[in-house]
Chain A
C-alpha cells in the first residue's frame, strides 16, 4: 500500500473540506477500497473516514425513506420499514457478498464500489483502460464470461458489481450529495456512467463530491417485488445476471412496473424499454417474452458471454411470470 494520512470526518461539510486535496478518498467500510489499495490500483494520499456520518434510516411522512450513506448494508436489509415496504432492497442486499462484508460495508460505499473485472485488478499483467486510460483493454479479447452485454464500448466491457444498486435503480432511488459548492440530488440511474471512451470515470460525481444519503420515494406496489440473481454458486458470488422487479398487477393487467438488470452493464441497467412495453398491457407470456426480447435487442455478446443474453431474457420473463401469476 502507498502511504496515506487517515482522518475522521465530523460531518458531511467537514468531510468535503478534508477531501479537498488531490488523491483523497472517502473511506466507508473499506471492503472494496482497502483491497484496491493493497493491490495498488487505488493509491490515495489521504483517507477521510466517513463512517461516522449519518447512518439513520428515516421514515418520512410522505412515505419515502431516507437512508444515511453510512448505514451498514446489514442495517438496511434488516430494517423493519425496508423489509415491509421496500422488500426488493432487502432482497438485493441479502443476495450480495457475505454477512461479514455486509456488516462492514456502507450504503455509500456499495454505490461507489468498483468493477471486479479481473483485468482491472491485474495491475502487473493486464492492460486496462479503466485503470490506465488509453492503455487498451485485455478483457475485450480475453476471458470475458462475466462481462457486459449492454452499453459497453470498445474501450471497456466491465460490469458494475452491486446487487443493491440494481434494486435502487428499479426503485427510482435519489442520491443526496454534498460538494464543495453545496448540496444537490441525482437520480441513481443517472449517477453511474456507461464507459464510452472514458471508462476511468465510473460516475458523474465531481471530484470530492460525497454521497450523504439515499432516498427511496414512496411506491406502494414496491411491496410486490422480487430480486432474482443467477450466479455460478448459490451464495457469495457476483451475478452473471440479476433482475429486480416490482409490479402493480390487477386482473392480469400490468398497471405499472419497475424493472432493472444487474451483471449486464457498466451501470445498474434500468429496463426502460421492457417497462414501457408492458405498462397497461395484459401480462401474457407472449407480452412478457416480447418485452424481455426488446430490452435485450441492443445486446452485443463478447466471445464468452453470449449465453447472458438468453439468460437475461429468460430470467426477466421468469421473474415477471412469478409476480403476475404466470399466465400461459
Chain B
C-alpha cells in the first residue's frame, strides 16, 4: 500500500526515500515552488506551510514521511478559485507587504496560522497576563507572533498593516 500525504486537497504518494523534506517534496517533486527555501535550517520562516488547516510549521525541518496522512496547505492552496486571491494575499498587495516577494508565501501562511493561535487564546512572549482569555492583537503582539518570518527587504510595516487589516475584516 502506498503511503500518501494530502497536498492542497490532493492525495499524493510520499517519496520512497525518508530523507526527503516536506519542502523538497513540495518544490522538487511536485513543482509547487511557491513555498521558498530560504535558509533550509529553520531560521528564516520562508518555508512556512499549514498542517491540517491552520497549524503553521517549517517545511524545511519536516521530513515528508512524518506527515503521512496529514493535510498540507501551501501558498498555492489558499485561494478558493483559480483566478482569485486569498484576502490576505490581496491585502499584501494593497499594503505593499513585500518588495522582492521571496518571504511572502511564508509570511502569508504564517499569518494564517498566527490568527488561528490568537483566536484560540494562545499567549505570546509579550502577553502581559497569561491567564486572560482575550488577548488584544496590537502592534507588539503581532510582531512577536510573526518573529519567525524574516523579511530582508524590511517590508515589515506593510506586512503588519496587511495582517491587521485582514483580521479586522475577518469574522
Q: Which residues of A contact B (CB under 8 A)?
A: 1, 3-6, 27, 29-31, 34-35, 38, 47, 49, 51, 74, 77-78, 83-84, 87, 90-91, 94-95, 97-101, 103-104, 234-236
Contacts and interface: CB of A to CB of B under 8 A. Distances in A.
Contacts of A97: 148
B62 A78 contact: no
B130 A91 contact: yes
Interface stretch (B28-36, B37-45, B158-166): B37-45
Closest 9 CB pairs of A and B: A98-B148, A235-B147, A6-B18, A78-B122, A83-B130, A94-B125, A236-B147, A1-B19, A100-B58
Given A1-B19, A99-B117, A235-B125, A104 B148 contact: no
Interface in B70-95: none
B21 A34 contact: yes
B4 interface: no
Given A27-B66, A236-B147, A77 B45 contact: no
B130 A100 contact: no
Contacts of B120: 78
For B42, B114, B127, the residue with the greatest tally of chain A CB atoms inside 10 Å of its CB is: B42
28 contacts: A1-B19, A5-B18, A6-B63, A30-B61, A30-B63, A31-B42, A34-B21, A34-B62, A35-B61, A51-B66, A77-B122, A77-B123, A78-B121, A90-B130, A94-B123, A94-B124, A98-B45, A98-B147, A98-B148, A99-B56, A99-B113, A99-B148, A100-B113, A100-B148, A103-B56, A104-B61, A234-B144, A236-B148
Contact of B123 (A47, A90, A100): A90
B19 A4 contact: yes
Interface in B6-29: 17-19, 21
Given A83-B130, A99-B148, A104-B61, A38 B66 contact: no
Nearest to A229: B125
Given A100-B56, A101-B42, A4 B18 contact: yes
A38 B40 contact: yes
A176 to B, nearest CB: 24
Contacts of A104: 57-58, 61-62
Contacts of A77: 122-123
Interface in B123-161: 123-125, 127, 130-131, 143-145, 147-149
Contacts of B147: 98, 235-236
A48 to B, nearest CB: 12
Interface residues of B, number: 37
B63 A34 contact: yes
A182 B97 CA distance: 55
Nearest to B18: A6
B121 to A, nearest CB: 7
B104 interface: no
A76 B125 CA distance: 14
A264 to B, nearest CB: 20
A103 B55 contact: yes
Contacts of A51: 66
Given A1-B19, A31-B58, A35-B61, A83 B125 contact: no
Contacts of B55: 103
For A4, A29, A234, A236, the residue with the greatest tally of chain B CB atoms inside 10 Å of its CB is: A236
B65 interface: yes
Given A74-B117, A235-B125, A100 B21 contact: no
Nearest to B124: A94
Contacts of A78: 120-123
B113 to A, nearest CB: 7
Contacts of B42: 31, 35, 101
A6 B65 CA distance: 8
For A31, A38, A95, A99, the residue with the greatest tally of chain B CB atoms inside 10 Å of its CB is: A99
A5 B149 CA distance: 32
A47 B62 contact: no
Nearest to B117: A99
Contact of B110 (A6, A91, A100, A235): A100
B48 A100 contact: yes
Given A4-B19, A30-B66, A99-B110, 16 more contacts: A6-B18, A29-B61, A30-B62, A31-B58, A35-B42, A35-B61, A38-B40, A51-B66, A84-B130, A98-B148, A101-B148, A104-B61, A235-B143, A235-B144, A235-B147, A236-B148
